[in-house]
Structure 1
Amino acid sequence: MLPTVAIFLVAYLGVALGHFPGLALDRTGIALLGAIAMIVAGAVTLPQAVGHVDLSTIILLYALMVVSAQLRLGGFYTYTAFRISHLLVRPRFFLLVSMAASAVLSAVLANDIVCLAFTPVLILSLHASRLNPLPFLLGLAVSSNIGSTATIIGNPQNMLIGQVGRLEFGRFILWCGPPALLALAGSFLLLCWLFRKEFGRQEKAPDPMPIVQSLPSFDRWQSLKGLAGVGLMLGLFFTSIPRELSAIAVAGALLCSRRLKSREILHLVDWHLITLFCSLFVIIGSLEAVGAPPIALAFLRRAGIDLHDLGILSVVSVVLSNLVSNVPAVMLLLGSLDPAAPEQWYALAASSTFAGNLITIGSIANLIVIEQASIFGVEISFREHARVGIPVTLFSLAVLGLWIYL
């Protein structure tokens, strides 16, 4: 047991830090190295390692990336962002509409893709209107995280929770949707108050040409094809057909194209995230194989920390999500949940996603907005994000706490 626990601790420490001194490893590389170490050290055999990977989750994640890639290449996200840009004459109303749009799209598609596609268009539109881009870009990051809370397919950790917990698509929305909606409304009001004197202040203007050249052109047919696929997929999710089969069937149909090459679509699949998932499955599965989780849970119970209590589970989820990021945190906590108590799974999904808004590293969506903005000349510092992220997260968690209590 000791070698397995040691490998786990080193791997999770590396994931928390994001790097190892002297090595050019990121979180995905560290997790993969941890999985390899588990196999090489004999903690798990290669067939057992493969068996620990939840294939249904990986297939669902992969299929949704293909569907999102179809819409991105068809220029749908760019078209949507430009369609609402005429509202910039009323900055606060534009902020409301842009946050609502990103939240809705993030709920039915990957929130990371929404941020990747919306950020350049927002910067271009805001530059032309001579408005401060910060509240709108931070609003994009915040709303995409909050909106993705509402559904099983909104973000990677929800997909994992929904698949492992075998949760119903509709019931998940009914439980997670209301707190997400209230948190979104509160985050909009907080942004309006925090930037009440700064909406009209123009930051250093970026060169618009690199932005224009980076945007995919709008293709009506490809966008409609993608939207039809999304509609069909959502409809199938409300049936008894396994979600991963419905999603991969739709993804396969979208790959049948005379104009978009398969290579172009598959190039947009986040292979790093899929590798991270597979590696973490192997690491956590190896830990479970030696019986470590029950020992840890018994220790926590003796210390008065009962993870079956929704409030305590939510607090632990928030802390872990901001230490090691939400996907590794969720994987670590899944083994402590009761399969017969779906509320525990819902609370973990909502709290781990809301936690992503706290600091920049809490969510991949945050990092995408920050990195994309910097490419186009707009800098968002850790302090500027925290100025919004901390109050938004505290408000969101207060809403969740009230929802749990009620």
Structure 2
Amino acid sequence: MALISTIAAIVFICTYLFIAVNKTPWFEIKRSYIALIGASLMIIVGAISFTDAIDSVNMDVIMLLLGMMLLVAGLEYTGFFTLLSNLMVKQSSSKRKMLAIVMLISAILSAVALNDAAVLILTPIVIRCCQKADADPIPFLVGLMMSANIGSISTAVGNPQNAYVLSVSGMDFITFSLYSIPISIVCILLTYAILLLIFRKSLYSKYGYHIDVHENERPVAKKQMYLMITVMICTFVGFLCSGIGGYRICVVSMVSGAISLLIIASSEPRYTIWAIKHVDWHVLLFFIGLFVLIGGASNTGLISDLSSSFPGFREGDSLSITSLSIFTVVLSNIVSNVPAVMLITEMITDPTTMMLIALAASSTLAGNTTLIGSVANIIVAERSENYGIRIDFFKFMLVGIVVTVVTIAAMILMINLMFN
């Protein structure tokens, strides 16, 4: 058993290291594949049985994410985001107002759908707005990333780590949102003020790029779009009523996803495959791999050994919100926020609602520190490069550190006021 535990520890540590540095001069491998390889090795070395591995996968989280991804695909198919793009262009009468609109729409869309999906859709829209307004896109793209991360704090479906925290916390959708929405609002206002200060000159620079950004715009199908908007509204009513009705929100999400596919199929059956391809299967595989990996680490006692190595996480220790938040920010920027949250949740011996809200919020705010701090940031950076727009890693980090320090401090203060 000692040998199995040692091998499992090596597998666990190596997997997390490769998740942290998935790109080297010699190879590049997706994090989802790394997580699945680590999970497979846990089963092979006997750290967890195949049956226990299947049981360790939290299907509530997988179903919730899958349903929301299909809902977003349905909205995109009907041209909802094309309409949104046109609205943003019309309303952007000044650069300050334009930044505010970009951040507001990004935050709201990230709260009602996954932040990764939101930035995937909004990046070309924001670049198009900048082109129309003859504005430097960098401040607006930075605002897009940061507001998507902050906005996603608001609800359990805003990002994957929130979905996981809700699944293990016992909280209902409304309770989670009541604590999280005020944090999100305050942090988005602070971030907007910081970006206005830092980009006070470049905000008024010229566009300077000569690339067509009207790529793959979906034509607006009004009838189907109204149906999809109705589905989206009903989905969130279902989420809000889940605490009263006693049903799981993943069921609501999957029903919404199925209806979205039905709406697409009834209009153009061939686009059903298009919608399925729009699901981020890598995110789902990443979660499945991490569930099994952490299950194996827990079975062999590795999680309890890790917990005893850090002050505040040992049984009987008093874990403060400040120390939890700082530890979460550091770990999230090493291995990314999803695996960090899953690991820290297992390390906390007596997780309270206050701790879990702080964990979810701090891991999300941590994503604003560096360009690789969250998947949403990476999506914006990579999509922008397709248009010849490069966001400098170190310049972003200088802005990100300021935003993260200020918003984490505000979050800690607000949580202490809420619970004390």
With normalisation by structure 1, the TM-score equals: 0.95
1:295 corresponds to which of 297, 302, 305: 305
1:12 corresponds to which of 13, 16, 22: 16
For 1:235-314, list aligned pairs within 5 A. 235-238=237-240, 239=242, 240-257=246-263, 258-260=266-268, 261-301=271-311, 306=317, 308-314=319-325
Does structure 1 residue 177 correspond to structure 2 residue 181? yes
CA 303–266 in structure 1, closer or farther in 2 if over 3 Å, else same? closer
Does structure 1 residue 371 correspond to structure 2 residue 371? no
Alpha-carbon distance in 2 for matches of 1:277, 1:169:
21
CA 340–402 in structure 1, closer or farther in 2 if over 3 Å, else same? closer
Structure 1 match to 2:414: 403
% identical aligned pairs? 32
Structure 1 match to 2:29: 25
2:357 corresponds to which of 346, 351, 364: 346
Contact 2:80 2:220 in 1 (8 A): yes
Structure 2 match to 1:219: 221
Please give the secondary structure, in 2, of the residue aligned with 1:158: helix
Contact 1:99 1:140 in 2 (8 A): yes
Alpha-carbon distance in 1 for matches of 2:58, 2:68:
16
Structure 2 match to 1:234: 236
Deviations 1:104-138 (A, max 9, x none): 11101111111111111221221122111111111
Alpha-carbon distance in 1 for matches of 2:285, 2:378:
19
Alpha-carbon distance in 1 for matches of 2:297, 2:83:
47
Please give the secondary structure, in 2, of the residue aligned with 1:214: coil
Deviation at 1:304, TM superposition (A): 8.2
Contact 1:19 1:30 in 2 (8 A): no
Deviations 1:282-317 (A, max 9, x none): 100001111222232233248989573222111111
Deviation at 1:23, TM superposition (A): 3.9
Regions of 4+ moved over 4 Å: 302-307
Deviation at 1:73, TM superposition (A): 1.7
What code does the residue aligned with 2:286 have?
L
Alpha-carbon distance in 1 for matches of 2:361, 2:349:
17
For 1:20-99, list aligned pairs within 5 A. 22-99=26-103
Contact 1:138 1:388 in 2 (8 A): no
Deviation at 1:152, TM superposition (A): 0.6
Contact 2:345 2:351 in 1 (8 A): no
Contact 2:314 2:349 in 1 (8 A): no
What code does the residue aligned with 1:231 have?
I
Structure 1 match to 2:334: 323
Does structure 1 residue 333 correspond to structure 2 residue 339? no
What code does the residue aligned with 1:44 have?
I
Q: Which of 77-86 and 306-315 deviates more?
A: 306-315
Please give the secondary structure, in 1, of the residue aligned with 2:357: helix
Deviations 1:37-91 (A, max 9, x none): 1112222222121111111111111111111111112221231132021233311
Structure 1 match to 2:168: 164
2:138 corresponds to which of 134, 139, 145: 134
The total of aligned residue pairs comes to 404
What code does the residue aligned with 2:193 have?
L
Deviation at 1:339, TM superposition (A): 6.2
Structure 1 match to 2:397: 386
Does structure 1 residue 358 correspond to structure 2 residue 360? no
What code does the residue aligned with 2:231 have?
G
What code does the residue aligned with 1:267 have?
K
